[in-house]
Structure 1
Amino acid sequence: MRSEWTKFDVAELQGLLLESSDLKSFLFRLTQVAAQELARNGTAYCSVTVLRERRWATVGFSEEVAASLDDLQYSTGEGPCMTALKTGRVVDVPDLVHDDRWPAYRRPALEAGIRAVLAVPIVLELGAQAALNCYAEEAGAFDNEDKASVEAFADLTASSVRLAVRLETEMERSSDLKAALESRTAINLASGVIMAQSGCTQEQAVEILRRASSSRNVKLRDVASQILARFNEIDPATHFD
């Protein structure tokens, strides 16, 4: 397979990132570009795996089959992509028929019609790792030119992927912080209601909420929200709203 690899530059990648709503949409479009270029002379599928906080996830793929092949590696605990991430080295599998490094992965991958695999690490920041995974139905599908092109593409996209992962992480942290503040607001307001009704202290009111949470097997914030709902204070807002 010969690939006239699209000559992406940093500006184009940054533009792609700015046009994407989140990490998944950015990497989805990125894998579409890779798959289109590699599939000029045969069927190819691409995906991007990200490892964060010891969790594996396929966050972008050109076709569902690529995501399924990634999931197969996560479930079996072995495969080209996982090896590439663990070693930080490119893993080239010209023909799965003659490669027995991952026996639990090999058979179902062959049954899915996959013969060649190319997994290229993408260097991210400390605490996160990624890899560009390429699958083909033809043995020996990725020649030396393709391999060099995929590695160059992975190097070029590394900074954009790092930025996308960083933005996604910050958004998750912001969401967690907002949820925590909303929870605290609900608990404080519900405690005030209990204090007004029973004349108890704030500590005693919070303890009443905790006992109710434990006995009902319901989250503390949900118990507080139920109390506030009775006083038309449903889902209290914080200064973030």
Structure 2
Amino acid sequence: MGDNHEHTRVVEFQNLLLDSADMRTFLDGLSSAAARGLSHEIPVQCSVTVSRDRKPTTMGLSAELADELDQIQYAALEGPCIDALRTGHVFDVRDLETEERWPRYTAGLRPTGVRSILAVPIPLAGSAAAALNCYAYAPEAFGREARQDALEFAQVASTSVALAVRLTSESDRAADLATALESRTSINLAAGVIMAQSRCTSEEAIEILKRASNHRNVKLRDIASSILARFDDPDPDTHFS
């Protein structure tokens, strides 16, 4: 891959990221671009697996079939993608019919007719990991040239994928914070209702909520929401036994 080609692909990935509504849309586009680039005489399907908190999840697909193949690997708890995520090395299955590694995975995959698999790590910083998974129905589909293309593709894509993962993580944290604040508001409002009806302190009202939560084995915020829902009634009942 020449410097001009590499620069063009970097710009392509950056534009794809900017134009995508979320990480899944971006990685779908990335997987499709990889599948097009690797499909010559033999059609190739690709996916991108992202692992956060050591849980691998398929986040990008060139076709639904790729997700089905990934799920077989996750269920088996072994396979080329899982090892690529764990070690940062490339894993190549030249012919599934003669492959002796990952027996649970290969046994589950054989009925699909897939013969060649290539798992290439996508370099990321931090605790997250990602890998490009490539599948073909012919044996030895990923020769030296295809393998090099996939390696270069993963290397060029790494910055854009890392940014997508980071943006998604920040979005998840913001959503968690918003949920926590919403829960805290509901609990405080419910405590206010109990204080008004029972003429108790705020600490006593919170303790009443906690006892109800433990007694009913229901989350505190759900207890609070149920109180607020009844508070909207003409004759609310917020007493606990």
By the TM > 0.5 criterion, same fold?
yes
Q: CA deviation at 1:40?
A: 2.9
Q: Distance in 1 between matches of 2:112 and 2:6?
A: 28
Note if contact 1:6-1:37 (Cα within 8 Å) is conserved in structure 2: no
Note if contact 2:96-2:115 (Cα within 8 Å) is conserved in structure 1: yes
Q: Distance in 2 between matches of 1:24 and 1:149?
A: 23
Which secondary structure state, in structure 1, belongs to the residue aligned with residue 40 of structure 2?
helix
- Which residue of structure 1 aligns with residue 219 of structure 2? 219
Deviations 1:84-133 (A, max 9, x none): 11221111111111220111111221210110011100111211111000
Q: CA deviation at 1:182?
A: 0.5
- Specify whether residues 8 and 137 from structure 1 end up closer, same or farther in structure 2 by C-alpha distance, changes over 3 A only: farther
Report percent identity of matched pairs.
52
Q: Which amino acid aligns with 1:35?
A: A
- Specify whether residues 41 and 168 from structure 1 end up closer, same or farther in structure 2 by C-alpha distance, changes over 3 A only: same
* Alignment partner of 1:78 is 2:78: yes
Note if contact 2:38-2:149 (Cα within 8 Å) is conserved in structure 1: no
Q: Which amino acid aligns with 1:228?
A: L
Q: Distance in 2 between matches of 1:192 and 1:207?
A: 12
Q: Distance in 1 between matches of 2:113 and 2:9?
A: 33
Deviations 1:172-206 (A, max 9, x none): 00000000000001101111111011110111101
Note if contact 1:24-1:59 (Cα within 8 Å) is conserved in structure 2: yes
Q: Distance in 1 between matches of 2:86 and 2:231?
A: 55
TM-score by length of 1: 0.90
Gaps in structure 2 of 5+ consecutive residues = 234-241
* Alignment partner of 1:112 is 2:112: yes
Q: Which amino acid aligns with 1:197?
A: Q
Aligned length: 229
Which secondary structure state, in structure 1, belongs to the residue aligned with residue 231 of structure 2?
coil
Alignment of structure 1 residues 18-167 onto 2, 5 Å: 18-167=18-167
Q: Distance in 2 between matches of 1:225 and 1:90?
A: 51
Q: Distance in 2 between matches of 1:68 and 1:6?
A: 31
Q: CA deviation at 1:6?
A: 9.4
Which secondary structure state, in structure 2, belongs to the residue aligned with residue 40 of structure 1?
coil
Q: Distance in 2 between matches of 1:230 and 1:7?
A: 61
Q: Which amino acid aligns with 1:140?
A: E
TM-score by length of 2: 0.90
Q: Distance in 2 between matches of 1:38 and 1:10?
A: 17
- Which residue of structure 2 aligns with residue 239 of structure 1? none
- Farther off after superposition, 33-42 or 148-157: 33-42
Q: Which amino acid aligns with 1:95?
A: D
Q: CA deviation at 1:7?
A: 7.9
> Runs in 1 of length 4+ with deviation above 3 angstroms?
5-8
Which secondary structure state, in structure 2, belongs to the residue aligned with residue 121 of structure 1?
strand
Q: Distance in 2 between matches of 1:104 and 1:198?
A: 61
Which secondary structure state, in structure 2, belongs to the residue aligned with residue 230 of structure 1?
helix
- Which residue of structure 2 aligns with residue 210 of structure 1? 210
Q: Distance in 2 between matches of 1:95 and 1:148?
A: 18
Q: Distance in 2 between matches of 1:193 and 1:98?
A: 69
- Which residue of structure 1 aligns with residue 237 of structure 2? none
Q: CA deviation at 1:146?
A: 0.9
Q: CA deviation at 1:8?
A: 4.4
* Alignment partner of 1:14 is 2:14: yes
Which secondary structure state, in structure 1, belongs to the residue aligned with residue 57 of structure 2?
strand
Which secondary structure state, in structure 1, belongs to the residue aligned with residue 163 of structure 2?
helix
- Which residue of structure 2 aligns with residue 177 of structure 1? 177
